[in-house]
Amino acid sequence: MNKLTLFLILSMLSLTVLSQRNPFLPQHRLEADTLPNDICAVMEDPSGNRNLVDEDYTNPDNVYWKTVRTVVTVHHDSTGLGWLPYDLVENAIFDLNEQFNAYMFEFELVDIQYSNMNENYSGQRILDGLACLPYSQPDGVTLASDYAWDTEYFMNIHVVPDMCFTILGFAYRLPAYYNTMDGVWVQSNCFGTDPDYCMENRAENKTLVHEVGHYLGLYHVFQYTEFCNQNVTADCSGTQDRICDTPPIKVQYDCGNPTCFNSNGVWDGDPWEGYQHNNHMDYYIDSCRTAFTYGQLLYMHNHMIYNRPSIIGETPLCWGDIDGDYVVGANDILALLSAYDQFVEDTSCPTCDINEDGFVGTTDLLLLLSNYNTVCFGAGDMLPFEEAPSREVNTEQMWRLFQQDVNLDTNSPRWNSKY
């Protein structure tokens, strides 16, 4: 057996083992939402968060009605802890559709399942306090494995009785199709709109909306913001939440006006005239969360095209298509192996660095193998990446509620196909 054959076999075995062990790869991250006055458990390495191709997340041509096939699994114990009525789950998805209607997303409820955690090894560990979600990921994988529908084609929503510390929900932004936990996870006492089942200030289904926002690609609006106006003149498409019409302001837990102190603790006044704390991707109580911005609308639609195309029935992008023939195949593997274990500047194959960390290594090979034999749509159809605007203070910018039309061509076939 030659070295190349042995290497490929070992790589495939590694992928199989890692898929059972829930590996941390650059495309495998989660966001977590917490109660006020607690540390946000955002499991994301900012240095590793890079686009795998030059994607334009502001392309309005990718905004059209998208249907996300959705499966809900209610995890509960034998005494009824965490159990929710069937109609409550139906109403929660109905409300989710209502709240995303203005942003042209539809969630098709395919199935509702019930999982008795006492009958699952990891479920029992979680109930006994020996493990908790999302940090006990092997237990999360085991709990999800028996019920998760194919994460490449369905958004799985898992409702559980409790999570680590004061976390209310978490979601994976980017897909790892071998990860059965991929999807949205919400604590049962803040799922839906029935106050008899929800905690105070969490009965408007906004935790689900928030976590679905993460699944559709959004960060928290306060992502990596340590002080007000941080990096305000930087490229807003590549810093903090990567959205240009959400101001860089720290996390807000109430509905009051945003506080704005600089890094020296000096009051900066109110540079974001007209901005209201109403964004779904902040941490205030449910009644304050009412809107996404236009920039977030664009980002969500483009994210689904670039990162979760099979969920919405699109042909996937070619992650790993090194030779540009729109198929991830043997020639791509050979090209990557020719540059393997080298810094990208020392190779003649810059596209071999799939995760763009500057080094062609195991992660790049695993990413390629996970997409092997994928037939993709042409990268030539994509718009070239353009330099993004800086986030200068602009009092004329519409920071307010999403009240304006999004300037789409309502005569287009894709718009009318919804009706």
Active-site amino acid positions? 211
Tokens 């020719």 sit at which residue? Answer: 338
Contacts of 355 (CB under 8 A, 6+ apart): 25, 26, 27, 48, 50, 52, 363, 364, 367
- In this structure, what token pair is assigned to residue 324? 């540009």
Cβ-in-10-Å burial (0-12, 13-18, 19+) of 410 comes to: exposed
Nearest-angstrom CA–CA distance, 6 and 8: 6
H-helix or E-strand spanning residue 111 = strand 105-116
| DSSP secondary structure letter of residue 93 | H
> Which residues are bridge partners to 72 per DSSP?
112, 157
- In this structure, what token pair is assigned to residue 153? 């084609």
Nearest-angstrom CA–CA distance, 219 and 213: 8
**Residue pair 279/221 in contact by the 8 Å Cβ criterion:** yes
Nearest-angstrom CA–CA distance, 20 and 370: 14
Contacts of 236 (CB under 8 A, 6+ apart): 242, 243, 244, 388, 389, 390, 391
H-helix or E-strand spanning residue 137 = helix 137-145
Tokens 């709240």 sit at which residue? Answer: 99
User: Chain centroid to CA 296: how far?
Assistant: 12
3-state DSSP assignment of residue 379: helix
Q: Indicate the residue type of 378.
A: G
> Which residues are bridge partners to 75 per DSSP?
115
Q: Where are the alpha helices (H) located in 64-132, listed in sequence order?
A: 86-100, 121-127
- In this structure, what token pair is assigned to residue 124? 């029992």
Nearest-angstrom CA–CA distance, 183 and 216: 10
**Residue pair 110/72 in contact by the 8 Å Cβ criterion:** no
Phi, psi of 263 (to 5 degrees): -65, -20
Q: Which DSSP string corresponds to 381-400?
A: GSPPP-PPPB----TTS--S
